[in-house]
A and B are shown apart, each in its own frame.
Chain A
Amino acid sequence: MKVGLFIPCYMNELYPKASMATLELLEKQGLSVEYPLLQTCCGQPLSNSGCTKDMEVLAKKFVSLFKEYDYVVAPSGSCVGTVKFQYEQFLKDDKDYASLKNKIYEVCEFLHDIIKPDSFNSSFPYKVGLHNSCHAHRELGLGSPSERNIPYFNKIETLLKKVNGIELVSLTREDECCGFGGTFTINESAISAFMGKDRIKDHLNAGAEIITGADLSCLMHLDGLIRREGKPLRVMHVVEILNGENPHGTL
């Protein structure tokens, strides 16, 4: 099984450790993983802003870079969501895309649905709050949205429970948006910060020492607020915890 590793552009530049943890975690599952060097950005910031004139070119480039793999896996719910759902409008009737959109996975979704490991041989003796990022949670369906009347499930939680010593805390609002929202955090900086601070408070009140999640963009936003306000919390991508890494200051 050949896996193409898709690392979101901002993670490539700002979060090499979490990116490497994704690669290592996948390799530990006995998979052959390749990172195509010509990848840049899936175009999400453009697509979500309505600035779509370059989207067709970016979407085509993405498809040609990744079409040869059996699976494409990325440590980001929102970037996978962009490829899986938003590319459709720019790549109508593209056969390669039609096949790609069904083999691209967010990494937790991939581990949970396809690889199904029994354990990760990792321990993480900390109190952890799970931030259910909206695109992973509601768009990709990694968990049951709190609005819906369907049986409860949460794929990330299921994976985290396989880590030794971890204690997942209960939040009062299990899947409220953190306010990042891509360019929203710039356009609507006041509301964005307000929403983020409210999430942080919920995690702190629940006794969390670490906030984790499937989207580092949300966590990057929360981390910026945590450091500005000097709160006793750290953020870590869920793959770092699954890969057995320790909390660290820089990501």
Chain B
Amino acid sequence: MEHSKLAEEFTQNEERTHWHDAALWFVREKRDRLAKGVVEWERLRELASQIKTHTMANLDSYLTKFETNAKRRGIQVHWAKNADEHNRIVLQILNLHRAKKVVKSKSMLTEECGLNPFLEESGIEVVDTDLGERIVQFRKEPPSHIVLPAIHLKKEDVGKTFEKFLNTEEGNSDPTYLTKAARAHLREKFLGADAGITGVNFGICETGGVVVCTNEGNADLGATLPKLHIASMGIEKLIPRVKDLAVFTRLLARSATGQPITSYTSFYQGARDGCELHVVIVDNGRSAMLGSNEFHNALNCIRCGACMNTCPVFRRSGGFSYGATIPGPIGSTLEPFKDLKKHSSLPYACTLCASCSNICPIKINLHEQLYLHRQNVVKAGLMDKKKERALNFAGWIFKHPKIFDLMGKSTRKIMPLLPRKILYSKTNLWGKYKEMPQIPKNSFKELYIKRQKGKK
């Protein structure tokens, strides 16, 4: 469904929309305080952009380097062309270990690949262990934000969900109480798990290790309690050196949640004795994006979610209004690149305010990409025909100054004569929420010509 329809539905509950906006703005302000505490912030952004751009430009050799070094450390490396291959590889590894119970920490890639339903079909239990992810998993909802997956829910909603699934006290929505209940529930899952699946924040080419950043320590428990750890990584997660990580860890948590650093920054540098570590490297459309002059920058994204927190549209329309795995400004450029037809409304879910491009720690030109996607929507014939005809008609008028003046003059004459009922009919989308502009008697051009004549 179109973003505008879902967004309009979201705004019907005004109080909740205000609450959602305020919750995310709170995170944005926290981010501002932390980012502005780092004197070299803008230099860090530039460095991060250069490192990522360099890595992506030489990705073929960096991927090979990563694989070689990972294997040297006893990490088993797998390559997946698409979501389906990724899911099959993961299932195969799990089956080899007769793993039936899996704990998973936050990974937008496995979300993108639809790993959970795929594994569940094969009789494998997958438990998302990030608190927010567990909440939405209970509710059979996708995450509504890539860093704050349950940001669309209030503590009362969580209380009700836990009443149903964790037998918590009726009506108790105290966050500490609810967190303790989730913790007890998740500890059991961790202890009983046969395998742990994590995402990857950074794959380091010179060491062949992977880095996972979390706040709850759930990735660490999932990766170290069971004997099998599978890490799913998109090809774009690579950085060349360990020292490059110093740039990214300083940017990531500050941009994401306004923390100096995530509570846990864990390095997985190889399998422990008697255990296995597998890294599944996934393309799933990324290499096509890498080949695009206009859009390859979007692959530099480190998934901090800052663009969502700052986006004035996202804050008031909610993550689900995007109908995509990754919502918000970065989703609105990644998703249409993959499936323009399905996501043709997303580039337009944006006022081109450019707040996203200015907040992005990797300086991705997000709003410019959304602008360019619109041209592709039109070229592919996916713009609403009525809208396209109206715009083309406007273009024709703009090319003819005399007709333009005539149209302006007649509109200024006719509009004030129209009864309100007709002027504000259902087709007038401007008039749905606001008054039409007040109509002056003369155009500036008419007054200017009169003024010039008076001067002579």
Contacts and interface: CB of A to CB of B under 8 A. Distances in A.
Interface of A: 7, 9, 11-17, 19-20, 23, 35, 37-41, 43, 45-46, 48-54, 57-58, 61, 86, 134-135, 138-139, 145-150, 173, 175-177, 179-196, 198, 220-221, 223-225, 227-228, 249-251
Contact of A189 (B352, B359, B379, B432): B432
B221 interface: no
B319 to A, nearest CB: 14
B52 to A, nearest CB: 19
B398 A41 contact: yes
Contact of A187 (B41, B317, B348, B358): B348
Contacts of B445: 7, 12, 35, 37
Interface size class of B (residues with CB under 8 A): 35 or more
A149 B42 contact: yes
B412 A138 contact: no
Given A46-B394, A58-B398, A224 B436 contact: yes
A149 B352 contact: no
A194 B17 contact: yes
Nearest to A61: B399
B236 interface: no
A61 B398 CA distance: 10
B68 interface: no
A20 B352 CA distance: 29
Contacts of A19: 444
Given A13-B408, A50-B378, A149-B42, A43 B398 contact: yes
A184 B438 contact: no
Contact of A190 (B11, B35, B399): B11
A230 B388 CA distance: 35
A43 B375 CA distance: 14
A95 B257 CA distance: 47
B352 A48 contact: yes
Most buried by B among A16, A191, A196: A191
Contacts of B42: 148-150
A37 B412 CA distance: 19
B36 A149 contact: yes
B36 to A, nearest CB: 5
Contacts, number: 218
A198 B398 CA distance: 34
B64 to A, nearest CB: 36
Interface stretch (B2-10, B121-129, B269-277): B2-10
B404 interface: yes
A166 B444 CA distance: 28
Kindly list the 8 A-B residue pairs having the minimum CB-CB distance in the complex, ordered from nearest. A50-B374, A181-B351, A224-B434, A54-B395, A193-B433, A19-B444, A177-B353, A190-B8
Nearest to A133: B353
Most buried by B among A7, A52, A194: A194
Given A13-B408, A138-B355, 4 more contacts: A43-B395, A49-B348, A52-B375, A135-B352
Contact of B312 (A13, A54, A177, A250): A177
Contacts of A173: 25
A187 B388 contact: no
Contact of B310 (A147, A195, A228): A147
B321 to A, nearest CB: 9
Interface string B389-405: 00110111111110010
A249 B440 CA distance: 12
B166 interface: no
18 contacts: A12-B408, A16-B442, A35-B444, A43-B395, A50-B373, A50-B376, A51-B391, A52-B378, A149-B39, A149-B41, A176-B312, A182-B351, A185-B430, A190-B11, A191-B8, A193-B433, A194-B11, A198-B316
B430 A186 contact: yes
Interface string B334-373: 0000000000000111111111001100000000000101
B377 interface: yes
B165 interface: no
Given A50-B383, A134-B353, A148-B358, A224 B437 contact: yes
A38 B388 CA distance: 25
A195 B316 CA distance: 8
Most buried by A among B376, B399, B437, B447: B437
A109 B81 CA distance: 51
Contacts of A184: 348, 350-351
A61 B353 CA distance: 27
B398 A191 contact: no
A54 B392 contact: yes
B4 A187 contact: yes
A179 B312 contact: yes
A107 B380 CA distance: 38
B32 interface: yes
Interface in B33-61: 35-36, 38-39, 41-42
A193 B317 contact: no
A145 B42 CA distance: 13
Interface string B306-339: 0000101100110000000000000000000000
Contacts of B354: 134, 138-139, 145
A225 B350 contact: no
Nearest to B21: A198
Contacts of B352: 48, 134-135, 181-182
A131 to B, nearest CB: 12
Contact of B4 (A182, A188, A228): A188
B170 interface: no
A183 B41 CA distance: 35
Interface in B189-240: none
B312 A195 contact: yes
A146 B310 CA distance: 11
Contacts of A249: 438
B442 to A, nearest CB: 6
Contacts of B15: none
B348 to A, nearest CB: 5
A28 B326 CA distance: 53
Contacts of B316: 191, 194-195, 198
Given A138-B358, A184-B351, A48 B411 contact: no
